[in-house]
Structure 1
Amino acid sequence: MHTLAVLALVGALQCTDPPVPPGGFVLDEYIDQPVTLSDGETTTATLRMPRDPAATCGWPLVVFIHGLFGTQNGPANFARDFAEWGYATVTFDVRGHATASGDHTLWGLRERLDVAEVIEWARASFPGQVATDRLGLAGTSQGAILSLGAAAWAGQPIPPNPWTAGSFPDVHAIVITNFTSDFGASLAPSGSGLHCNIAATLLGSTSAVRFDPGLVADVARSILDDDPALWRAIVEDPQRTPLALVPTITTPVMAMAAWDDYWFPIEPMVEAIEALPPGTPRKLYIGTGGHSTPNTVGEIALRDGWRRLWFDRFLKGEANGIDQGPAVTYSRTPADPDVYLNVQTSWVQSQAEHWPPPGNWPLRLHLRENGQLSAGAPYAAETPATLAQHVASGFGAAELIATEFRLPQIEPDLPRVQLEWKSAPLPGPVLLAGRPQVQLSIDTADVQWQVAAALWDIDENGNERYVSSGVHLVHPQVGPAPSQVLLQLGSQCYEFAAGHSIAVRVSNVLVHEPPTGPLLRYAPTLADFTLQIRHDPAALSFVELPVAGDAAIPYGFSQSASAGCSARLSLVGSASATSLDPVLVRAEDVIPARDGLMIYGLGPAQSPLGGGSLWVAAPVKRTQLINSGSSTQLGACSGLLQFDLGPRLRSGLDPMLSVGSRVYVQYWYRDPQSPSLTNLTHGLQFSILP
């Protein structure tokens, strides 16, 4: 543990707080107290604490900071609960909001000074009752950004300014929700992207926040002058973003985020947690409860419980175990939109030491001509797909600002264009846990454009479910147009069901489309462009899904047998080189009493053979003949082909089956009543484990 975390625990252990009575402490509330800030502006703050006498060291203090557009009433329930549990709590109106005077500078130095000065106000106004040497901060969105900033600058000298001097206060624990630590990656992707929500917030006619007029003018100028460097300078201002200081934070950090958060993708938050020094206590939850996501009762209860345990641990010194065990808990996103939107449903949870969980394998599906998404790469050049954007005459930056970046107002002048590639129905479920990515090989003569890719789940009836998306933007001020782009989609934990198809949609704009509704995430490019999406051996385009490395993943599709059978492959047991248990590669739903064999190799393919497809790339190996057994009296498709791969892979005689290899298998069997006289199953891929 690093210095601040140790000091927090030492201080907490040296102070014995009164036990929390059943039903909690009775409170004293000092509501809407005036606070004068060092630049002469004012705000109001509310302090709550138990009416009972505090220990000699005072009540540990937690400051709850509200989100953008909010007021101190937003986190008031949290503040009351914590006061009942034996804390002093403060809420206040952030500069430019509600009762607070002054102009908001978008989480800059002035807002950070305000947080420090409100903390000092609490200490000075309630001497002996408030323990600022046991200080916690908590907040969502804006509140989380300011809390993280307070931890990042904790104990450091205040930068030169016209108002005050000294040092920022030490912070002993933070709990932060739905935020970003990297404003550049979140608000200006590819160096030229413009986050629609922040732009609409700053430039909109109905904003509830009073922003600094100079900031608003600069943002407008960056759009009107098509100057991404100015926009980057605003959002990447080192006085605004704590990114560079995150690796120095020693304050214990609990962070929580949602997969489908429209404002802030989770990746910068995950990267911030991973960048903390090794000894800094950290805890991470990923699931729901973010901007534009459902507040599922069970998930919110978990988050609320964790918040109390974290502060009890580091501000009161309680050994409650919250800082033990795996650092990451993540929930699986329900595939059924009705389940997703029902706040009473439970989400399946998993744990890992890091996100993404270790041991993932990239399941690659290639974008092929005619809209096919296939495990097999193209063998020859195929006809490219064309993505063309046309912007109506007269629709420029001023008109875009007037739409307040709303998709329905933009589309009449800048239509959304989409291309789709879709897989065959999956022969078995596919669980992704990590960050998908899409590589696109592109031919274009244009120098300013953007391309977005979205991952979709399509069921047997054509019902569609958005999963994740990402974007890449090209601007001449940032650099030359690449011939190949790798789009990092948003992280997810999501299962595609058997019988569903995986689809990739490539578009000229990035629209975030979870079941809660579509929202335009980044502003469109205000120029015509044409992109040729290539798929040929020299210029591959594909999607990669992170799947568990120890899972067997089905791919392709089975040939329909003369009896109507459609074989299903599975792996029974673990493909371990050291275990003595069987490793059964099994094909069910095949014709009884037929000879067959298993084919395996080290790569996927998709090449027609007879009436089916060969799903294993050359060179391939074959097993001896196997009979499917059973009889037609037990069912026309009651046969079973099964091969125990264990002895072969443990013998060490086949280099294809060495530890770490990714193996691709399928079955061939005789079907004399079919026109091709044979049958080929779908493919199955898995890794050889130690």
Structure 2
Amino acid sequence: MGRPYPALRTTASIATAAVLFAGAALTAAPAAAALPAAPAPAASAPGPEFHDIPGSGGITLKGNVFTPAGAEPGSKHPLIVLPTSWGMPQFEYFAQAQELADSGYVVVSYTSRGFWLSGGEIEVAGPPDLADVTSVIDWALANTPSDPDRIGMGGVSYGAGISLLAAGHDKRIKAVVALSGWADLIESIYSGRTQHLQAAALLGGAGLLTGRPSEELSRTLASFLGSDLAKEGNMIAWGKKRSPAAFLDEINANGAAVMMGNAWGDTIFPPNQYASFYEKLSGPKRLEFRPGDHATAEATGLLGLPNDTWTDAHRWFDRYLKGERNGIDQEPPVQLKSRTDSGYEGYPDWKSVGAAQERIALDGTQRILANVDSGANGGLVMLSNALDQFVKLPPLASVPLLPRAFAGVWQSGKYAAPQHIRGTARLHTTVTANKESGTFVAYLYDEGPLGLGKLVSNAPYTFHGRTPGRPFPVDLELFSTAYDVPAGHRLTLVIDTVDPLYIEHNPTGSQLTFSSSPADPSYLSVPLREK
């Protein structure tokens, strides 16, 4: 039997969420201007009821239920299920759940297995987590006034990943809102075959502090952080089983309407893998990118404050669970907000975002010594790109002062007019190493007249088993972004070998040479057009 707390209203929810905001930071589409406002409900929904919900395998999940005001026995309301983010308890979505219940939804949120007071161990969106989703839906249909034909899933970060995966495993799910999640777990924390050190350590540490990691997770994380290449195949298989991209056919066959949102600077789940997955979805879909880092774009909404991401999440559920003709399906489905502009831009698909490409030639030969940080780096996980979001302060580097012994530098000419960067920059070059293994990181800067560079994008690359002294080609995607370059500035590519965000694999005494030839010229292709 649930215990009602009718006095726990939205204001209390906001206060609770405020206490949890710091934890949310660890885990973790514009509204249509001309649309008429929805009529206010006749009465606010009562506060949450707390329940022990049976999960899969006999465990108990701690959850809460928000029910619309005046819901009568036998009435049927659309159901939204919200699994919590990594390390977060069941109170995470109080503010948003209250708003959804006020507009007519039954909302069930639960602490994901292995965390806080929920039973089981942390399985990282493995099969037991997906079985939990089915169990929670079954329980909700049996114990709340929920409509079995109108079921949605949503969440932030971990909750987003579970929701996307569940859409391929439970055909009852009709709509999904996945915010700051992942589509490909390996491409998220192991892109360029480089371990994302700070991201993995943050997630691992938060898991230990707030939950009970499974033996499989502990073993996989130890291999990952320990650079155990002999077990790389096992790790990749483990990640694939937890990646919505591996279940694309099932998700498309089930046909749920999928809205995905993420931040340009997400240092845990970078935007490229989300955009690639979005393009392959065949059902109703929407993709939104905004400035910020992991879960910061939607964080204020968890406090009950006005938030574009959550506004569109509600509109998405209203369209595909209530059938409201609110216009969200008539807008361009790809919605972007530049890191340097307050407005939104709409595109028909992701490939249209970076359709215009300009090649910057990387002429000559540059040799750099490894194992020393040149001063160019991607910042700190969760912090640097949040500063970029809120105070327009991305990671900086003084290009003239970068030591050329440890950093390769290539510069474009100065642009006479402002330029838009939208989409994904791609590096093609030829590398010669004096060791069989190595790591380098490519950085794209907006360099001003005084040589101060503002980080536009970056990406790491690691290789193993190469013959020393033998050149080999490299093609590397930098992390997607939307950035405006002022007139009089230039674009500068910097390559070095050490970045605190990543684990590097340069043996002592390593040197890397970057070269270009007439037969195979090196270049940086930038999605650039005049503003």
Corresponding position: 1:119 with 2:137: yes
Q: Is the 8 A contact 1:183 1:235 kept in 2?
A: no
- What's 2:280 paired with? 275
Q: Is the 8 A contact 2:291 2:338 kept in 1?
A: no
Instruction: Specify the SS of the correspondent of 2:527.
Output: strand
Corresponding position: 1:522 with 2:517: no
Corresponding position: 1:76 with 2:81: no
CA deviation string 1:78-98 (max 9, x = no partner): 101100111100111111212
Offset at 1:390?
A: 3.5
Residues in 2 aligned to 1:134 and 1:27: alpha-carbon distance in whole angstroms: 19
Q: Which of 331, 335, 343 in structure 2 is aligned with 1:329?
A: 335
Q: Is the 8 A contact 2:262 2:295 kept in 1?
A: no
- What's 2:271 paired with? 266
Residues in 1 aligned to 2:87 and 2:464: alpha-carbon distance in whole angstroms: 32
1:185-584 pair list within 5 angstroms: 185-191=187-193, 193-202=195-204, 207-224=209-226, 226-227=228-229, 229-230=231-232, 233=235, 236-249=238-251, 250-277=255-282, 280-288=283-291, 290-291=293-294, 301-334=307-340, 347-357=342-352, 360-368=355-363, 382=364, 384-390=365-371, 417-476=406-465, 483-509=472-498, 511=499, 520-525=500-505, 527-528=507-508, 529-548=510-529, 551=530
Instruction: Specify the SS of the correspondent of 1:172.
Output: strand
Distance 1:330 1:194, change over 3 A: closer
Structure 2 residues without counterparts, runs of 5 or longer: 1-37, 374-380, 385-404
Q: Which of 149, 153, 160 in structure 2 is aligned with 1:133?
A: 149
Q: Is the 8 A contact 1:427 1:498 kept in 2?
A: yes
Offset at 1:117?
A: 1.1
Offset at 1:54?
A: 4.6
Distance 1:418 1:132, change over 3 A: farther
Q: TM-score, normalised by structure 1?
A: 0.61
Residues in 1 aligned to 2:51 and 2:468: alpha-carbon distance in whole angstroms: 52
Instruction: Specify the SS of the correspondent of 1:39.
Output: helix
| Amino acid across the alignment from 1:367 | L
Q: Is the 8 A contact 1:35 1:42 kept in 2?
A: yes
Residues in 1 aligned to 2:469 and 2:368: alpha-carbon distance in whole angstroms: 19
- What's 2:169 paired with? 153
Corresponding position: 1:32 with 2:20: no
- What's 1:635 paired with? none
Distance 1:227 1:87, change over 3 A: same
Instruction: Specify the SS of the correspondent of 2:130.
Output: helix
Offset at 1:189?
A: 2.3
- What's 1:642 paired with? none
| Amino acid across the alignment from 2:507 | A
Q: Is the 8 A contact 1:289 1:295 kept in 2?
A: no
| Amino acid across the alignment from 2:452 | N
Residues in 2 aligned to 1:481 and 1:102: alpha-carbon distance in whole angstroms: 51
CA deviation string 1:131-150 (max 9, x = no partner): 23210111111010000011
Aligned-residue identity in percent: 24
Q: Is the 8 A contact 2:184 2:240 kept in 1?
A: no
Distance 1:421 1:211, change over 3 A: same
Q: Is the 8 A contact 1:192 1:478 kept in 2?
A: no
Instruction: Specify the SS of the correspondent of 2:121.
Output: coil
Mean CA deviation greater in 427-436 or 472-481:
472-481
Residues in 1 aligned to 2:473 and 2:413: alpha-carbon distance in whole angstroms: 26
Offset at 1:312?
A: 1.1
Corresponding position: 1:89 with 2:107: yes
Residues in 2 aligned to 1:43 and 1:177: alpha-carbon distance in whole angstroms: 22
Q: Is the 8 A contact 1:188 1:231 kept in 2?
A: no
Instruction: Specify the SS of the correspondent of 1:310.
Output: helix
Offset at 1:70?
A: 1.2
Q: Is the 8 A contact 1:437 1:543 kept in 2?
A: yes
CA deviation string 1:284-313 (max 9, x = no partner): 111135417566989963322211111111
Instruction: Specify the SS of the correspondent of 1:537.
Output: coil
Judging by fraction of residues, say which structure has more helix: 2
Larger Rg: 1
Residues in 2 aligned to 1:262 and 1:27: alpha-carbon distance in whole angstroms: 37
Residues in 2 aligned to 1:22 and 1:390: alpha-carbon distance in whole angstroms: 61
Distance 1:484 1:273, change over 3 A: same
Residues in 2 aligned to 1:296 and 1:142: alpha-carbon distance in whole angstroms: 14
| Amino acid across the alignment from 1:521 | L
Aligned length: 460
| Amino acid across the alignment from 1:352 | Y
Q: Which of 169, 176, 179 in structure 1 is aligned with 2:178?
A: 176
- What's 2:399 paired with? none
| Amino acid across the alignment from 2:369 | A
Residues in 2 aligned to 1:225 and 1:21: alpha-carbon distance in whole angstroms: 56
| Amino acid across the alignment from 2:220 | D
Mean CA deviation greater in 112-121 or 183-192:
183-192
Q: Is the 8 A contact 1:228 1:477 kept in 2?
A: no
Instruction: Specify the SS of the correspondent of 1:215.
Output: helix
Distance 1:289 1:50, change over 3 A: farther
CA deviation string 1:234-292 (max 9, x = no partner): 56444322212224421001111111111111111112211112xx1111111135417
Residues in 2 aligned to 1:544 and 1:192: alpha-carbon distance in whole angstroms: 22
Q: Is the 8 A contact 1:184 1:236 kept in 2?
A: no
Residues in 2 aligned to 1:24 and 1:283: alpha-carbon distance in whole angstroms: 31
| Amino acid across the alignment from 2:111 | D
Residues in 2 aligned to 1:294 and 1:189: alpha-carbon distance in whole angstroms: 23
CA deviation string 1:304-332 (max 9, x = no partner): 22111111111111121211232111112
| Amino acid across the alignment from 2:181 | F
| Amino acid across the alignment from 1:321 | G
Residues in 2 aligned to 1:478 and 1:243: alpha-carbon distance in whole angstroms: 33
Residues in 1 aligned to 2:470 and 2:176: alpha-carbon distance in whole angstroms: 42
Residues in 2 aligned to 1:546 and 1:104: alpha-carbon distance in whole angstroms: 40
Residues in 1 aligned to 2:156 and 2:360: alpha-carbon distance in whole angstroms: 37
Instruction: Specify the SS of the correspondent of 1:361.
Output: coil
Q: Is the 8 A contact 2:83 2:109 kept in 1?
A: yes
Residues in 1 aligned to 2:407 and 2:286: alpha-carbon distance in whole angstroms: 39
Residues in 1 aligned to 2:204 and 2:470: alpha-carbon distance in whole angstroms: 30
CA deviation string 1:17-48 (max 9, x = no partner): xxx86355332344331123232322211001
